Structure 1
Amino acid sequence: MRRPVLDAKRIVVKVGSSSLTTAAGGIDPERVSALVDALGEARKRGTEVVLVSSGAIAAGLAPLGLTKRPRALAAQQAAASVGQGLLVHRYTEELARHGLTAGQVLLTVDDVTRRSHYRNALATLGKLLELGVLPIVNENDTVATSEIRFGDNDRLAALVAHLVHADLLVLLSDVDGLYDAPPTTPGARRIEEVTALSELDGVVVGKAGKAGVGTGGMVTKLDAARIAVEAGIPVVLTSAEEAAAALAGESTGTLFHATGRRQRTRLLWLAHATEPAGSVTIDAGAVRALTDRGASLLAAGVTGASGGFHAGDPVDLVGPDGAVVARGLVAYDVDEIPQLVGRSSQELEADLGAAYAREVVHRDDLVLL
């Protein structure tokens, strides 16, 4: 039996579209029922559970007469709008058999990178768990754009696990674990445990499945596992059919042991859940100030900027050698940067007013990469 599983008091479980839906794109009642039974048993053992569930777009395909996941963003959003209600309704009915209440939580990148939104997301999930509700989390595909989205729910699940201080992340898919080669390869061997990420060097993994309803694959699951274990959260990767066994602590799938320590949550999201809206170039002195002293980025260390960013957007901070040093939430629009370049805070306050004496990127809104 696996102690990291048995000792976990709060678990985040992620399930993919292909594990919830039929080949035609509709919700598979038997699969959802089996998953909920596994979650219900975990709750009976006293474990708090947060479910990160894909499947909204997939669930909306059949009602809209679509045969596969559309590529156009507007069509994906339409399918998500139809499918999300169907999916949560099914979960609500199934959880009721176990005396459990479902709570829907839809997130966008803004909800967890901008300070005020992040605090709201944290408070909502915390209150739901306090009230005994089983939160069902998904990306808000109905409104998310291609520029502001997590990209896949595997990564979202890893970040949610960190957000709610989970003791374990369970990633469920249509594959029963990580193999040292694609599972269809003759002689491929399932890897039972990973104690260091360096053990994955040379492992060849596959892409998203052929069903055409999901966006992930083993690559995204390994990325999610890496985020979680480096933040101190162990991970079990297995198939949805093995969910009950995995949550009971049986040696199914692949167990990734935690390798790091807990990090500041919002900065973890900033590093892993955002795409930069542009870049700010900085001089060598600013690089040292950021990396060695944990300082904020001041205008004196800025040498230029590119992109179409606005105040509050994530930007990459790039050193004189072209290497990305950090990512942070910038305090100015891109067209304001030229008048700030290389100038001291005192000089900017005297010439432009007190509002321009603030940091370009505050250290509380910055993460080294």
Structure 2
Amino acid sequence: MSEPARREIPQSDVRSRIAEARSIVVKIGSSALTDMHDGLDRSRLDALADALEARMRAGTNVTVVSSGAVGAGIAPLGLKKRPTDLATKQAAASVGQLALAHAWGTSFHRYQRTVGQVLLTADDFANRRHHANAQRTLERLVSLGVVPVINENDTVATNEIRFGDNDRLAALVAHSIRADALLLLSDVDGLYDGDPRKVGPNGERAQFIPEVHGPEDLDGVIAGSGGALGTGGMASKLTAARLSADAGVPVLLAAASDAALALQDASVGTVFAARAERLSARRFWVRHAADSSGSLVLDDGAVAAVVNRRRSLLAAGIVDVKGAFYAGDVVELVDLAGAVRGRGVVSYDADEITLMEGRSTADLPPDLRRPVVHADDLVAR
């Protein structure tokens, strides 16, 4: 939502980093591309392609994550609103995905740019081999001068494996291709501490938040769910922005109508500062992308060692094993109160750990004396 008067936002180190990024991922929301009655809005899509082209001509590699497949299929199918059941959503996506890809290809053809469509599901990031294949494809497309346009593969995704929105998908892609910045463009012009469309009983309005440097900047923020055409909403964008920033990629959250300025100098919207140290690909996968296959309940001493001192998890600190999993799977590490304190890749099957739990390393057979979760394969929450 854009305000009538342009908000003056001072430049900062975070905005400069985004403006100067040599590789960016740009996520575009459904509401920026589609209309409930007419489907795809070609004029809005062309305006976005113009802004993206300008950034590419300035020397930046751009990868697009585009929502809108389901929205683009609503009008051709004669639906009155966004479908809620999976089968109809998949049908709308099947029709809309073709229209969306064609529209992006036609728009970029004005600049003699080739577009490559990439459809992904959550399983493609949870599975290390699939993830590596997708990563190689995206990197090769960029090296060939092709603009990758990514969307969730709604036609085959199920409720169990789907991302739920393209904001998280964009954050996962940004880390996967080691992008320098992530831009989330939709119908909101930034982050507020409440709903900017509402006025309080005394005339008070939600306050705009120009920069987020840590959790303390989000105290009191109330984020809502998605609109009629999308599945995201501010809650989804906030989660994706924090995920990306935690992985070491700065984020700009802005209105799609401000795309030209967002892509030119990042002088609009809200920025999220990245953590100083970028997570390795493996640790990022463990923390954010991999599915959890079970959990280990730890005593207080093990929690302190794993969370505070970043030590490997030994069998002596485990008090319970939950779920059926195998060596190499990712499990959650839970404290005695049931709170998740970390995730890690286990070295043994669940049945083996059940026999090992609570025992000191010296009391175990030689072939079971390795850490249950090595420090290199462990991330704390």
The yes-or-no answer on 1:48 pairing with 2:64 is: no
How many angstroms apart in 2 are the aligned matches of 1:335 and 1:75? 42
How many angstroms apart in 2 are the aligned matches of 1:322 and 1:199? 27
Q: 2:255 aligns with which of 209, 233, 239?
A: 239
Tell me which residue corresponds to 1:58: 71
Q: Does the CA-based 8 Å contact 1:192-1:253 persist in structure 2?
A: yes
How much has 1:81 moved relative to structure 2? 2.8
The yes-or-no answer on 1:120 pairing with 2:133 is: yes
Distance 1:339 1:84, change over 3 A: farther
Q: Does the CA-based 8 Å contact 1:148-1:275 persist in structure 2?
A: no
Question: Which segment drifts farther, 280-289 or 145-154?
Answer: 280-289
Tell me which residue corresponds to 1:192: 210
Tell me which residue corresponds to 2:89: 76
Distance 1:284 1:5, change over 3 A: closer
Tell me which residue corresponds to 1:30: 43
Tell me which residue corresponds to 1:137: 150
SS of the aligned residue for 1:162 comes to: helix
How many angstroms apart in 2 are the aligned matches of 1:193 and 1:341? 45
How much has 1:222 moved relative to structure 2? 1.6
| CA shift digits 1:294-350 (9 cap, x unpaired) | 455455544333345566554312233433222234466656654554567898878
How much has 1:17 moved relative to structure 2? 1.0
The yes-or-no answer on 1:366 pairing with 2:378 is: yes
Query: Residue type matched to 2:79 in 1?
Result: L
Distance 1:324 1:189, change over 3 A: closer
SS of the aligned residue for 2:208 comes to: coil
Distance 1:336 1:131, change over 3 A: same
The yes-or-no answer on 1:305 pairing with 2:290 is: no
Distance 1:345 1:190, change over 3 A: closer
Q: Does the CA-based 8 Å contact 2:16-2:266 persist in structure 1?
A: no
How many angstroms apart in 1 are the aligned matches of 2:340 and 2:243? 19
How much has 1:255 moved relative to structure 2? 2.7
CA RMSD, 1 decimal: 3.0
| CA shift digits 1:262-283 (9 cap, x unpaired) | 1123422432345534322234
| CA shift digits 1:111-155 (9 cap, x unpaired) | 223333332222222222222111112222223322223232112
Q: Does the CA-based 8 Å contact 1:270-1:367 persist in structure 2?
A: yes
Q: Does the CA-based 8 Å contact 1:277-1:307 persist in structure 2?
A: yes
Query: Residue type matched to 1:59 in 2?
Result: A
Question: Which segment drifts farther, 139-148 or 192-201?
Answer: 192-201
Paired residue total: 363
Distance 1:254 1:323, change over 3 A: closer
Distance 1:92 1:200, change over 3 A: same
Distance 1:293 1:68, change over 3 A: same
Q: Does the CA-based 8 Å contact 2:36-2:74 persist in structure 1?
A: no
Question: Which segment drifts farther, 9-18 or 144-153?
Answer: 144-153
Tell me which residue corresponds to 1:229: 245
Q: Does the CA-based 8 Å contact 2:24-2:183 persist in structure 1?
A: yes
Which structure 1 residue ranges, 5 or more long, are not aligned?
A: none
Q: Does the CA-based 8 Å contact 1:25-1:67 persist in structure 2?
A: no
SS of the aligned residue for 2:34 comes to: coil
The yes-or-no answer on 1:205 pairing with 2:214 is: no
SS of the aligned residue for 2:192 comes to: coil
SS of the aligned residue for 2:253 comes to: strand
Distance 1:287 1:183, change over 3 A: closer
How many angstroms apart in 2 are the aligned matches of 1:157 and 1:320? 35
Q: 2:269 aligns with which of 233, 245, 253?
A: 253
Please give the TM-score of this superposition, normalised by the length of structure 1. Answer: 0.85
How many angstroms apart in 1 are the aligned matches of 2:306 and 2:108? 48
Distance 1:323 1:207, change over 3 A: closer
Please give the TM-score of this superposition, normalised by the length of structure 2. Answer: 0.83
Query: Residue type matched to 2:219 in 1?
Result: D
